[in-house]
Amino acid sequence: MSTETQARPLSNIAHDIKRDWKQVHYAALPYLNAMLNMDSIDSTYFYDSGTSIVRYFLANAGTWRGHVAQSIKSELRSMI
């Protein structure tokens, strides 16, 4: 029996972020928009890897706070 959990698609996570973060910081927005079009961290968006998209999003999402933000940021960190 496997205890490994399957990561949620990045697009689902991005939709949750948009639902919670009402005024997305302008520097995080391009990375959030990219994540809306990605299935996994192994995907690419044009020439950028999913890992770099998620890292850049996290680096620019410092103003997003609260319980949902902490939970999703932790989920994203665990993916990379």
- pLDDT tens across 28-53, in order? 999 999 999 999 999 999 999 999 99
Cα 9 to Cα 76: distance, rounded to the nearest angstrom: 11
Quick check: is 3 in a domain?
Answer: no
Q: Domain range holding 54?
A: 10-79
Number of domains in the chain: 1
The per-residue pLDDT for 3 is 45
Confidence category of residue 7, pLDDT binned at 50, 70, 90: confident
pLDDT of residue 6: 73
pTM confidence score: 0.89
Token pair listed for 52: 């770099």
- Residue 1 — very low, low, confident or very high, per pLDDT cuts 50/70/90? very low
CA distance 6 to 29: 26
In a domain, 5, yes or no: no
